[in-house]
Structure 1
Amino acid sequence: MQPKVSQQERHQIRQDEIIAAARHCFRASGFHAASMSQIALEAQLSVGQIYRYFSNKDAIIEEMIRRIIDYRIAEMEGNTQTQLFPQVLAWRQTLNQDDDALMLEVAAEATRNPRVEAMMTEADARMYENACAHLKKTHPHLDDERVRCCVEIMAVLMEGTMFRRLTPQKCDPTQLHKMYQDIIQMLFTDQ
């Protein structure tokens, strides 16, 4: 006999299925071109059923972004080793290639859609504040302004690397690794 699934658990399972279907559609067609009909077809639901869980496509995008950011924050909090950062940059590593591609879609859609721009701004603020708190914990000798500057530079490096993954690497990662180590060392040195 299978354990009884609560209404809340069923609701969560259905939302997860819709988000998974939407992620697939957004990757295939982009946010702008992916329709609710496509998402419904992918999720094997009717459009009306999707509207029971999400008021519109923007609400699906918002939930998808929230989940990606939650995952990234959890990974950041679980990783206290800032020495891994140069390796991640040099070898263009990623936590999740699909998430990276979807966040690039978010950035593109944010240039056209003020609602998605607001979502991206809120997601960035969450990541930034969590990164500042994490960095302050791991490098308490840095003053608050230095922490904010370090986080901003690290965000630019990570986001730039995310974009650069779309192109072939043009130099030796071993050399890049050393340079990134020097940059990180300089950032975390109290001045």
Structure 2
Amino acid sequence: MNEIIWPEGFLPGFTENFVSNEVIVAGLSPAQVWPLLSQAQRWPSYYANSANVRFHDPVGPDLAKGVRFYFETFGFPVEALCTEHVPPTSTEPGRIAWHGWAGEGETRLDVHHAWLIEDLPHGRVRILTQETQKGKPAQDLAKAKPNPMINGHQDWLDGLVNAAKSIGQ
């Protein structure tokens, strides 16, 4: 199976926080999942922890490498830059990633959030999302029990899968 491509400075284990969530689902294809993730303005329709998505420049509906956007999640107003956007093919996984940031000084949070969507044998799709975080807020999130990032990202995955299944019916 494929893995996330990490930019310099965001390699898991060398940041203040890292979370990883994954699902493998039968009966879905990357083509069914991709538009729901690639079109950021659709996120709030299936993920309650995402709100007020907007683009800085008139683009869309899909994200693209180099596109700046804004959204709110986990109580943070996040400015983001899409750093990776590769639609899935029959032989290669789809990849979406962004660098997001919020706050200044002591409250500064920097994240690299990446997604991988790939076909697996026997009509299955694998959806992997991983995020590394740097800054004091990341230290606090890493210590929180239950872990809000793991739980929130699982909600995102579950919502994504349910939305893709409902479209496919």
TM-score, length-normalised on structure 1? 0.25
Which entry has the higher C-alpha Rg, 1 or 2?
1
The answer to which structure has the higher strand fraction is: 2
Asked which structure has the greater RCO (Cα within 8 Å, sep 6+), the reply is 2
TM-score, length-normalised on structure 2? 0.27
